Amino acid sequence: MKRKINSAEASETVQADWISLFDQTPPAARAAVRDLIEKQRHVLADAFYERMMQDTEARSFLDNGIVHDRLHASMQRWLSTLFSCETQEQFVTAMAMQRHVGEVHSRVDVPVNIVARGARTLKNQIGLHLAHGTLDRNGLVEAVMYVDSLIDLAFEVMSSAFVASHERTARIDEAYRSFSSGQNMSLERERQRSALLDWENRYLQAVMTALPGDDLPRINGSSFGLWMQHKAPAVFRGPSELHAVRALMRSIDDTLLPLCAQQLGNNPGEVRHLLKQVQSKVSELKFLTESMFERLIDLESGKDALTQLLNRRFLPAILARESEIARTEGKPFALLLIDVDHFKHINDEYGHQAGDRVLQQVAMILQNSVRAGDFVFRYGGEEFLVVLVEMSHAHAMRVAEKIRTRIADERLLISNGGQLDITVSIGVAMHDGHPDYQRLVNRADNAMYRAKQGGRNRCEHDLGFCTVPA
Ligand SMILES: Nc1nc2c(ncn2[C@@H]2O[C@H](COP(=O)(O)OP(=O)(O)OP(=O)(O)O)[C@@H](O)[C@H]2O)c(=O)[nH]1
* pLDDT (tens digit per residue) in 194-220: 999 999 999 999 988 877 778 889 999
Name which residue sits closest to atom 31 of ligand 1, judged by CA: 381
Cβ-contact 297, 184 below 8 angstroms: no
Q: Of 200, 229, 203, 226, which Cα lies nearest the Cα of 215? A: 203
Identify residue 1 by its one-letter amino acid code. M
So what's the pLDDT on residue 120? Answer: 93
- Residue 36 identity: L
The 10s digit of each residue's pLDDT in 39-79 is 999 999 988 888 887 877 777 776 666 566 777 888 899 99
With a 6 Å cutoff on the Cβ, whether 382 touches ligand 1 is: yes
CATH for 7-179? 1.10.490.10
> Which has more pLDDT, 127 or 185?
127
Q: What does pTM read for this prediction?
A: 0.56
Confidence of residue 430 (pLDDT cuts 50, 70, 90): very high
* Burial (0-12, 13-18, 19+ Cβ within 10 Å), 223: middle
Vertex 111 angle, CA 55 and 5, to 5°: 145
Q: How far is the CA of 356 from the centre of ligand 1 (A)?
A: 10
Least confident of 104-108, 115-119, 214-218: 104-108
pLDDT at 296: 80
Nearest ligand 1 atom to the CA of 348 is: 27
Q: Where are the domains of the chain?
A: 7-179, 185-301, 312-462
**What size, in residues, is the chain?**
470
* pLDDT value of position 422: 96
Q: Which residue has the higher pLDDT, 236 or 96?
A: 96
Report the nearest-CA residue for atom 26 of ligand 1: 344
Closest ligand 1 atom number to CA of residue 341:
25
Pocket test for ligand 1, best of 298, 340, 347, 453 (most atoms within 8 A of CB): 347
CATH 3.40.50.300 fits 312-462, yes or no: no
User: In 3D, which of 51, 159, 46, 169 has the Cα closest to residue 111?
Assistant: 159
Q: Which residue has the higher pLDDT, 275 or 183?
A: 275
Q: Please state, in angstroms and rounded to a whole number, the distance separating the CA atoms of residues 193 and 223.
A: 11
- Evaluate: CB of 462 within 6 angstroms of ligand 1: no
355 lines ligand 1 (CB under 6 A): yes
Instruction: Calculate the dihedral angle through the C-alpha atoms of 306, 316, 388, 375, rounding to the nearest 10 degrees.
Output: -30
- In whole angstroms, how far apart are CA 124 and each of 50, 90, 127, 128? 14, 25, 5, 6
What is the structure's pLDDT at 239?
61
Query: Which of 307, 338, 343, 458 has most ligand 1 atoms within 8 Å of its beta carbon, as the pocket-test mutant?
Result: 343
| pLDDT the model gives residue 180 | 59
Q: What is the reported pLDDT for 4?
A: 43
| Residue 332 Cβ contacting ligand 1 at under 6 Å | no
Give the Å distance between the CA of 381 and the centre of ligand 1. Answer: 6
Residue 342 neighbours by CB under 8 Å, 6+ apart: 456
Average pLDDT over residues 413-433: 91
Distance 353 CA to ligand 1 centre (A): 12
Percentage of residues of the chain with pLDDT beyond 90: 52
More confident residue, 190 or 303: 190
Whether pLDDT at 263 is above 90: no
